[in-house]
Amino acid sequence: MDKSTAQLKIQKLSKELHEHNYSYYVLSQPTITDYQFDVMLQELIKLEEQFPELIDENSPTKRVGGAITKEFDTVIHNHRMLSLSNSYSRQDLIDFEKRIQKLIEEEVEYVCELKYDGVAIGLRYLDGKLVQAVTRGDGTRGDDVTNNVKTIRSIPLELKGDYPKEFEIRGEIFLPLKAFEKLNKEKESAGETLMANPRNTASGTLKMQSSKVVAKRGLDCYLYYLLGENLSEKTHLGNLKKAAEWGFKVPLESERMIEKTNSIRGILDFIAFWNERRRELPFEVDGIVIKVNSYQKQELLGFTSKSPRWAIAYKFETEQAVTVLNSVSYQVGRTGAVTPVANLEPVSLLGTVVKRASLHNKDQIEKLDLHIGDEVFVEKGGEIIPKVVGVNVASRPSYAKPIGYITHCPECASALVRKEGEANHYCLNENGCSPQITGKIQHYISRKAMDIDGLGGETVEQFYKAGLIKDIADLYSLDPLKMLSLERMADKSVNNILKGVKDSLKIPFEQVLFAIGIRFVGSTVAKTLARNFKNIDNLKTATLEELIEVDEIGVKIAESVQEFFKDDKNIEVISRLKAAGVQFAVKESDEDIGVEKILTGKSIVVSGVFQKFTREELKKTIERLGGKNAGSISKKTSFIIAGEKMGPSKLQKAEKMGVKLISEEEFIQMIS
């Protein structure tokens, strides 16, 4: 067979196999037998072996796997991959709807869908072909698992129909219950340890180095959210229906896996329906997701630092286990917060053996009336760490003793303090309490912070005990000879750590600000503060009013920032970090160099929905031109860029304070 004939044959076989694959795995309506499919696939494999230069990266043969991935590349998400706020009660959902109605005074349409218990994934398509698959990771960055995802037969490698040139679709990869049971039977026959549950198995499978092994596991996927600039529909449900036309496996209205409603009653009915029937599904779900259907309204509602305001996840009641409370120990975190932990008689819960569970704080212990020796109820309740949720008082033994909450730090013996309005007790000896010191260092070197390779929690503990480091600034004066004298420290390890420390000098200010560990300043808040104050000195001297005026910065965060800079030790550490070359100022990007900062000194509020720009684009423009984005209207507000459907309360406040309102067009004229 000549090359041109082979090319035509390969194209024909590929197209037919993609169609048969879609019919079988997405529509569940096979058009040929398994044997016929395998014969066609083998023919294609032989042709590709004979003409390797004709192999397409999205060939149906990629479904069987074969590639070995030593390490997964880290990829920055084009759009942050946020998790949803969780709710566990009817009242949480009623409150969610009330919050939305306050911001949007017209009827709101909601979409209810199943919450699949699997691994979140983002799939990027270009010209109708799958080009990249990335895990959630930390929400900002995830792992590129494209080779493994290509083996999942319900995920199309090539699309059909009127798809956009470029877009991203997100969903959940999971392991069907039959596939999970089959895998455990195989492991049992081989005398191997059984897998704990389908979710963990799906997660572990997706990160396997051999795509051939991944292909054999039988992972599946539902897609449930589209992102892109040129989407044809203006609603969430509308775009999912379009995605189905392009070849994606999406939740179907006909099977009541997804449903539209405009009332809290409709939401609660959908939850009640699936609470009864969820165990009939061939895969695991752990709740229901409720989303605002309109994209315009989603944009108007916006996001918090951790989750969208336009969506919420309702979690079904979780499985409980009954066991005995043997003792209580106390952990000290990097902020000095002391957390009581229940040490339990080992018990199986949702496929894992539980020995410890969180007790949260003193109030929770008193509320439960916990005694050592009690029979207690434990559940995971949507958390990674199990928690004690109840006590079987009727079975309390005569020798059971009530728990006396500690008054002094279990690590450094300092008196514990409970601040007004706080649930936790705190050890205030932050510069002399070892878990706080090592916790701050571990936070500083973490991936979302300074991302120092070669260093981990155990190494930090080892260096601290050996006296090599006492604070984060000591990392920049590590002695390689002293490092080599420690156990498990060889030349390669030392060089990796020193290189990681040196590379951290390139980390931008916004990450540094997160890394230094100001209480309540997470990665998103750190970015906001860095963009608004530009350098550490401006932030240090900012007044409470100036801090609060910044968009999304409340009193709690503002007071915490000021408290941090009152501490002489913190000032001294920052001074040493500066001397080491750590970035404490925002660097202008190439596109910002030479841009006239015409909005310098202006505090601007953005409110409403806009035609030419999104709210985020307007805010970025304001920052780029030297202005400050304010979250609320005050006497210092220079003006408000007012779009359609600006909240009536903001409008009233602006009129009362005499703050000028300008339109989107007027703003464009102003900056041009």
Catalytic residues, by residue number, are 115
Which residues, including other chains, have CB under 8 Å from residue 271's CB and lie 6 or more apart?
Answer: 93, 112, 288, 314
Residue 171 near residue 225, CB atoms below 8 Å: yes
- Measure the CA–CA gap between 426 and 415, rounded to whole angstroms: 9
- Measure the CA–CA gap between 245 and 236, rounded to whole angstroms: 15
- Backbone φ and ψ of 381, nearest 5°: 50, 40
* Listed residue (126, 130, 145, 138) closest to 81, CA to CA: 138
Q: Beta-carbon neighbour count of residue 232 at 10 Å?
A: 12
- Measure the CA–CA gap between 117 and 200, rounded to whole angstroms: 10
148, two tokens: 């493994």
**How is 112-179 classified by DSSP, letter by letter?**
EEEEESSEEEEEEEETTEEEEEEE-TTSSEEEB-HHHHTT-TTS-SB--SS--SEEEEEEEEE--HHH
Which residues, including other chains, have CB under 8 Å from residue 95's CB and lie 6 or more apart?
Answer: none
Strand order across the beta sheet in which 258-261 lies: 86-87, 311-315, 285-292, 110-116, 258-261
- Measure the CA–CA gap between 90 and 271, rounded to whole angstroms: 10
- Measure the CA–CA gap between 637 and 604, rounded to whole angstroms: 6
Which H or E run includes 600? none
Which residues, including other chains, have CB under 8 Å from residue 573's CB and lie 6 or more apart?
Answer: 471, 472, 473, 516
- Backbone φ and ψ of 164, nearest 5°: -70, 160
Alpha-carbon distances of 323 from 262, 394, 397, 403, rounded to whole Å? 43, 14, 13, 17
- Measure the CA–CA gap between 132 and 145, rounded to whole angstroms: 8
Angle ∠(358,174,203) on CA atoms, nearest 5: 55
Calculate the CA 259 to chain-centre distance: 25
Residue 518: what residue type?
Answer: I
Which H or E run includes 105? none
Alpha-carbon distances of 269 from 90, 159, 171, 275, rounded to whole Å? 11, 35, 24, 10
Alpha-carbon distances of 351 from 316, 347, 359, 383, 536, rounded to whole Å? 17, 10, 21, 15, 48
